[in-house]
Amino acid sequence: MSISKLQIQHVRNISSISFAPSQAINIICGENGSGKTSILEAINILGLTRSFRTNKAKHLVQSEQSAATVFGSIDPMVQGLAQSLGVERPAEGEARIRYEGSDIDLSTLAELVPLQVINADTFMLLEGSPAIRRQFLDWGVFHADKAFIRLWRGFRRVLKQRNTLLKCGSIDNKLRQVWDREFIAFSDQLTRLRTEYLSLLKPEFEAVVSQLLEGTHIELGFSYGWDKKRPLDEVLASNFERDLRQGFTASGPQRADLRLKVDGHNAAERLSRGQKKLVVSALKLAQGALFQRMNSRPCIYLIDDLPSELDQVHGELFCKVLEQSSNQCFITCVDDQALMSHWDPQTDIATFRIADGSLC
Ligand SMILES: Nc1ncnc2c1ncn2[C@@H]1O[C@H](COP(=O)(O)OP(=O)(O)OP(=O)(O)O)[C@@H](O)[C@H]1O
Ligand SMILES: [Mg+2]
């Protein structure tokens, strides 16, 4: 997937800009508050209809305007096509997505535009709650297996139903058996897809870590959301009284988590800030490499303030990994000179300068 033309209207301080990005590396530079992250946010709207900074659309829509719009000429398989994609995000209400003259839904859009974001929030992959790591994992499973979205929706429906029954304080035994059977069937399938995906991701992750953090061994483990030595039906049965008291299901794929360890220690507790940035970036870059291998098309990377937290050597290693991939990258930085010496002269690099929401 790549974008050959972008038109952004009414996103934060951007009234209207359009530009033709490079298929490889795009560097967006400018002073604080000039609109760099807003450009990345606009591309995120094009791929997911929403911002990565806020859940409230009214904040990303330019003041005094009713909607933000982003149009792109896109080439999903990078075969030289130019297809039109447009997303209108109103300050209030639902987003509208138009692809080649037709309305499409969000999951079709997400499948079409594989996006990866690396920004200050990406640290949450190490430091944040398990939900953030599940979201990361499920991005990969969603793109790896067509069955995932149906299973995931089915699982959410059954979990909600089981929790509603638990909240009533008592459940008819037969009814409980029916819901537990469904819960276990969805859980086993979902967990199998997650495990399979992770076994493919691990070697990709190790390869990127060895480039970015030479000599550091990071172990990537997976917790199912219950004691994997025991079958889930036994776990549900032994937890039932507690689940009933608490009014929710305490074990299952809704509790799955990724475990990152360095020399046996929790990576979030052990690593320095710069090392954490490299590890979370390696997770995202590994997903892109695996996505490319499985789908024969690259991802789009939005990397906000690449130089922050990194010394010269590691900044350069990061850039090397990016230019060796076939991903289209949009990278922001305050001073483009901080990155300029990092690239191979053969790499197709476009630099855009932004000031007060306009390209200059
Ligand atoms: N809804 C809005 N309408 C108009 N302007 C807005 C809106 N929301 C934010 N802004 C302004 O848009 C500008 C762009 O912010 P943005 O975060 O893109 O800057 P940046 O170039 O990434 O800066 P930094 O280097 O500090 O990260 C800011 O000056 C901000 O005050
Ligand atoms: Mg910014």
Q: What is the CATH number of the domain that holds 319?
A: 3.40.50.300
The protein residue with its alpha carbon nearest to ligand 1, atom 9, reads 12
As for how many domains the chain has, the answer is: 2
Q: Which residues contact 23 (CB under 8 A, 6 or more apart)?
A: 2, 4, 78, 328, 348
Minimum-distance ligand 1 atom for the alpha carbon of 39: 18
Q: How far is the CA of 42 from the centre of ligand 1 (A)?
A: 12
Quickly list H helices, the chain: 36-48, 57-60, 106-112, 124-127, 130-144, 148-167, 173-212, 232-246, 267-270, 273-295, 312-324, 337-340
R_g of the chain computed on alpha carbons:
22
Number of C-beta neighbours around residue 311 at 10 A: 10
pLDDT of residue 233: 95
pLDDT of residue 171: 86
Statement to judge: residues 27 and 104 lie in one domain? yes
Statement to judge: residues 254 and 309 lie in one domain? no
252: in domain: yes
Statement to judge: residues 135 and 245 lie in one domain? yes
Cα→Cα distances 98→68, 72, 86, 186, 352, Å: 14, 11, 5, 33, 27
Q: Which of 260, 278, 310 is the last residue of a domain?
A: 260
Statement to judge: residues 104 and 33 lie in one domain? yes
120: in domain: no
Q: Which pair of structure tokens corresponds to residue 168?
A: 């009533």
Statement to judge: residues 34 and 76 lie in one domain? yes
Task: Tell me how many helices (H) and strands (E) the chain has.
Answer: 12, 15
Closest CA relative to residue 186, chosen from 221, 227, 149, 141:
149
The protein residue with its alpha carbon nearest to ligand 1, atom 12, reads 13
Q: Which residues contact 347 (CB under 8 A, 6 or more apart)?
A: 24, 25, 323
| Measured distance CA(252)–CA(191) in Å, rounded | 9
Statement to judge: residues 301 and 329 lie in one domain? yes
27: in domain: yes
Statement to judge: residues 233 and 147 lie in one domain? yes
Tell me the pTM: 0.97
Residues of the chain falling short of pLDDT 70: none
189: in domain: yes
241: in domain: yes
* DSSP type of residue 62: P
How far out from the chain centre does Cα 198 lie? Answer: 15
Q: How far is the CA of 355 from the centre of ligand 1 (A)?
A: 11
Statement to judge: residues 176 and 214 lie in one domain? yes
Statement to judge: residues 90 and 154 lie in one domain? no
Closest CA relative to residue 333, chosen from 309, 298, 300, 356:
309
Q: Is 337 exposed, middle or buried (0-12, 13-18, 19+ CB in 10 A)?
A: exposed
Closest CA relative to residue 241, chosen from 232, 250, 252:
250
Statement to judge: residues 27 and 69 lie in one domain? yes
pLDDT of residue 338: 86
247: in domain: yes
CATH number at residue 220: 1.20.1050.90
8: in domain: yes
At residue 49's C-alpha, the angle toward residues 56 and 19, to 5°, is: 110
Statement to judge: residues 154 and 109 lie in one domain? no
283: in domain: no
pLDDT of residue 169: 83
Domain boundaries, position 315: 3-114+297-359
Q: How far is the CA of 36 from the centre of ligand 2 (A)?
A: 6
Q: How far is the CA of 4 from the centre of ligand 1 (A)?
A: 25
Cα→Cα distances 139→56, 96, 107, Å: 22, 22, 11
Statement to judge: residues 28 and 66 lie in one domain? yes
Minimum-distance ligand 1 atom for the alpha carbon of 34: 21
Cα→Cα distances 74→24, 70, 87, 110, 292, Å: 14, 12, 13, 14, 17
pLDDT of residue 133: 98
Ligand 1 first shell, C-beta below 6 A: 12-13, 30, 32-38, 59, 62-63, 334
Q: Which ligand is nearest to the CA of 41?
A: 1
What b-and-e string marks burial along 223-243, b requiring 16 or more CB atoms within 10 Å of the CB?
ebbbeeeeebeebbeebeeeb
